[in-house]
Structure formats: C-alpha cells, structure tokens
Amino acid sequence: HYPCSKRECRRAERRWKKDKLHVFYEILKESWRRYQRILKAEKTRYLKEKIVQNLNKPRVLFKSIDSILNSPQSSCLEASSVVPLIKKQNLDTTILANYRPISKLPFFSKILEKIVFTQFQSYLDTNGILETFQSGFKAFHSTETALLRVFNDLLLTTDHGDSVILVLLDLTAAFDTIDHAILISRLEHCVGIRETALQWFRSYLSDRYFSVKLGDSTSSIAPLLCGVPQGSVLGPLLFSLYLLPLGNIFKRHGISYHFYADDSQIYLPLRRDANGSLTPLLECLKDIKTWMSFNFLNLNEEKTEIIVFGPSRVCDSTPINLGSLQQYAKPVVTNLGIKIDSEFKLDKQINMVVKSCFYQLRLLAKMKPILSFNIFEQVIHAFISNRLDYCNALYIGVNQISLSCIQLVQNAAARLLTGTRKHEHITPILASLHWLPVYFRIHFKILMFVFKSLNGLAPQYISELLHIYTPSRSLRSGDQLRLNVPRTRLKTRGNRSFSAVA
C-alpha cells in the first residue's frame, strides 16, 4: 500500500500544479493525509518486527535502534510532547505551580532508554555508586521503606531521652532545571562513565525539543536547553546521580538524611543545650542552599517544614528555641503522604485515612448492583485496602482506639461486599473472605519486611537494622534463626521502632 499511496500523492500534486483548481488541492491534501497514515503504520510495523526479532539479543537491538536514532531523520525521536497534569484534584487549576509537566516521548526512544537503563543500573549496583539513602526509582525501595527507617531512628533517639528535629525540604521544578554540562561532568567524574558511553549520554541530552499540549491545542516546538524529561526511563536515574554530592554535605556536618526523589528529610538529635545543638543544622542548611545555587536547583521554602520530637515531658515543659527556623515549625507535618505529629500518635493520619475510606465506600455502594462479587472485591481492595495498608508498618504500637477506627472501615467494606447486616457478627465474615484484621495486617507487614531483610529483598538501610543473635556458648536453640532485640525504655517510643518489634 505504501508505494501506491506515494504514487497517488505525486499524481495529485502534479495535477494541482497544472490546473491550479481548488478541487485538486483538496484531493492532494486528502492523498497526503492518507500517505502519512500509511507511512506511520509501516514504520510501526517495521519497528515491531525489529524488536521481536532481536528481543533476546540486547546488543543487536541496541545497535539497530541506535543506528535509527542517529540517522538524519531521527530528530522527531528527540522531540517530546509536554502535558501539564494537576498534582492533586483539589488544587487551584489557575496556579501554574500546581501542575506537573509530563513528557510524552516516542515509543522507540523509550525502548532504547530501557536497554541503556538495564545495563547502566547493573553497572551502578555492581560498583555501589548510587546513594544508599535514596529510596526513589530503585528496586525494593519505596516511600514505606524510607519512612520505616526514618521512624526507627526518630523513635530510638527520643527513647534515649533526647529530642530530635526533623526538617523536610522540597525542590521546585527539580527535573526541569538540571544543567546538562554539570550532569555530564557528574557522570564522568563521580560515576566513571568514559569515551563512547559518555558520548552517548551527551548525545542523548543535546538537541532535544519539546512542545506543550493542552487539550486540542499544541504550542510551537522549542529547544530543551536544560532538564531531563519527566516520563522518560533514564530521567529519574540521571536526576538521582545529579544529587550525589548532596549526601556528602550532610555527612560532613554529621546529620542523618534520607531522599525520596526530590524530597529530602534531615534530622538531628538535640541535646539539653538546644541553641548549641542547632549550629550544625544551620550551617548544613546554609551549605545546601549554596550548593543548590551553584547547581541551578531551587529550594522551595514554602514547602519547607520542621517538627521537633521528644519525650512528652520535654515537649511540655521545655519548648525548643529554634531561632530563625521557628517560622517553619509545625505541630503536624506531611512526610511522603503520612501526617506525623510530634508525639508519634498518628491520630491525624488515621483520621484522614478513615475519612477518605468511608467517602470511597459511599461511592462504591452505588456501583455494587452492576458488578459481580469477584470484580467488586477487587475494586474494594483497590480503593479501600490499599489505603488501609499504605505505610501501616508505622501503626505498630499506636493506641487501640485509633486501630479500632481503621478496623471499622474494614468491617464496613466487608459488610458492603457480602451484604451482611449491621448487627451481625463480622469476624466469621472476615475469615470467610480471608481478610486479616487490621491488627494482624500491621504485624504481617512487619514480618514481611523482616523476611525481605533476611533474604536480600529489602534496602540496605533496612537490613542493617537487624542483627542475627549469636549465643556465647553452644545451646540447643543455637540452630534457630533469632534476632538481637535492642534495649528500649518507653513503650510509646523505642518499643515501636522496627529494630525492636522485628
């Protein structure tokens, strides 16, 4: 069809040039559209055949794709369509800062990126180059593992009688302000990329173009002079490598830290002399701002939040003097989607989850008549169980009243699914559905993290919290796998840490 369509298009063009009639111009336009559709379909078919033929030959596949991308006709593969997406549905749509720019890249370009990503990730893992305390865009890492480690450190510090200050930092348009020259220098000197591989990354970052699409309207094409595209395969990994020197600043000042993508959290124990203890933190924040300025990153001070944790007697009787940081202090902060209060009660978080789940249940009740039992159960797991299970490892040790509120949500979901009446006993219903009650789901999550830590399926910063117990002399229980339990003082602090409950 492709040759015939091309000949038809040329005939229509010659006829229009000869007679200059409007009807022949319309025929030419229609022929050209048909030719473009057929050409696009033929390109797609050819690319699919190449991928299928070399699916188990990554070297051949890489060379095939790379040769096409480096051809004179490859400029279209370096162009991206940027679609602004609102970050949250309840945000003001007239404020541009509430949108996240997502780059829609050509399919073939993403295939090539995936091949490079697999080899590059293997190189980084083998040489231990990636930041240990970066939980974004990494296998076995998540927001829950990040919060589990941070919570563990905060609980143990306050259990020892010290207060601890937590600072949450956020970057503005972090992916869009990355300087390409600095990134290439980082890849060469910090990562060890050389010669052909470095030249490939330089080619990948240069000569890129983008256009913005909003609804049916599309802007004109403009050059992409900085940043890595959000929505690309390599973008998040390159961003993590761009931030590599930032961890050295925290280490130099002796401050604990954790990253999740462009969200940073740093925490520092506060001794009795609070003013003296804040000096390393203030100097560290100053160095961070300087480093970000030199690296074209912008710290979003509007989203900077500070919270102080400590034994309740310290919080009540001796308020901490934060000096210039007082303007950022809050009694409750939102850390990776979890509302955290200064006493680790998590009641604000639980109330938010309960309110959200009951709202979803009211909406789901309207869908029940049109869905089968199995499908409706999957819908409940998607909209309710996921909310109940998100970071529920942090709920260990919270008061029973808060847990009972979460249990009410699960009970209501089970009653809605099975049609059980309000006053009927719910425990047999949960058992028949094979739904673990909330209390046991929390402990199951802890056991799952323990299993993953002992079998190399968890982040290093989680695995290093667990230590195998080795008896000083031979015992009958010596062949059993047992863990050391750290000494703790307070049920509401140290007893809730992951290293203690594991």
Quote the CA–CA distance of 328 and 300 in Å, as a whole number. Answer: 12
Residue 257 backbone class (left: φ over 0; alpha: ψ -120 to 50; beta: rest):
beta
Cβ neighbors of 72 (< 8 A, separation 6 or more) are none
CB-based burial label for 463 (10 Å; 0-12, 13-18, 19+): middle
Q: Which DSSP state fits 209? A: E
216-220 contact pairs (CB < 8 A, 24+) = 218/81
Of residues 29 and 237, which shows the higher confidence score?
Answer: 237
User: Residue 72: is its pLDDT beyond 50?
Assistant: no
Q: What is the pLDDT of residues 328-370, one digit of tens each?
A: 899 999 999 999 999 999 999 999 999 999 999 999 999 999 9
CB 270 within 8 A of CB 278: yes
Give the 3-state DSSP-derived string for 334-386, with helices as H, strands as E and coil as C.
EECCEEEECCCCCHHHHHHHHHHHHHHHHHHHCCHHHCCHHHHHHHHHHHHHH
The pLDDT of residue 152 is: 95
Q: Class assignment of domain 143-175+240-341?
A: alpha beta
The pLDDT of residue 249 is: 94
Angle separating helix axes 107-127 and 22-53, nearest 10 degrees: 30
Quote the CA–CA distance of 31 and 8 in Å, as a whole number. Answer: 7
Quote the CA–CA distance of 141 and 267 in Å, as a whole number. Answer: 20
Compute CA 61 distance to the chain's CA centroid, rounded to the nearest angstrom: 29
Q: Which one, of 386, 459, 454, 393, lies nearest residue 136 by Cα?
A: 459
Q: Which one, of 442, 443, 447, 469, lies nearest residue 458 by Cα?
A: 447
The full set of domain ranges for the chain reads: 1-53, 143-175+240-341, 345-502
The pLDDT of residue 311 is: 75
Cβ neighbors of 466 (< 8 A, separation 6 or more) are 450, 453, 454, 483, 499, 502
User: Residue 302: is its pLDDT beyond 90?
Assistant: no
Quote the CA–CA distance of 329 and 171 in Å, as a whole number. Answer: 18
The HSE-up count of residue 211 (CA atoms within 13 Å, CB side) is: 12
The identity of residue 452, as a single letter, is: K
The identity of residue 358, as a single letter, is: F
Residue 445 phi, psi (nearest 5): -65, -40
Q: Pinpoint the alpha helices (H) of 141-234.
A: 143-159, 180-186, 195-205
Q: Are strands 79-86 and 208-214 parallel, antiparallel or unpaired?
A: parallel
The pLDDT of residue 73 is: 38
Of residues 466 and 323, which shows the higher confidence score?
Answer: 466
Q: What is the pLDDT of residues 210-266, one digit of tens each?
A: 888 888 788 888 888 888 887 788 989 999 999 999 999 999 999 999 999 889 999
CB 339 within 8 A of CB 390: no
User: Residue 132: is its pLDDT beyond 90?
Assistant: yes
CB 438 within 8 A of CB 407: yes
User: Residue 316: is its pLDDT beyond 70?
Assistant: no
User: Residue 286: is its pLDDT beyond 60?
Assistant: yes
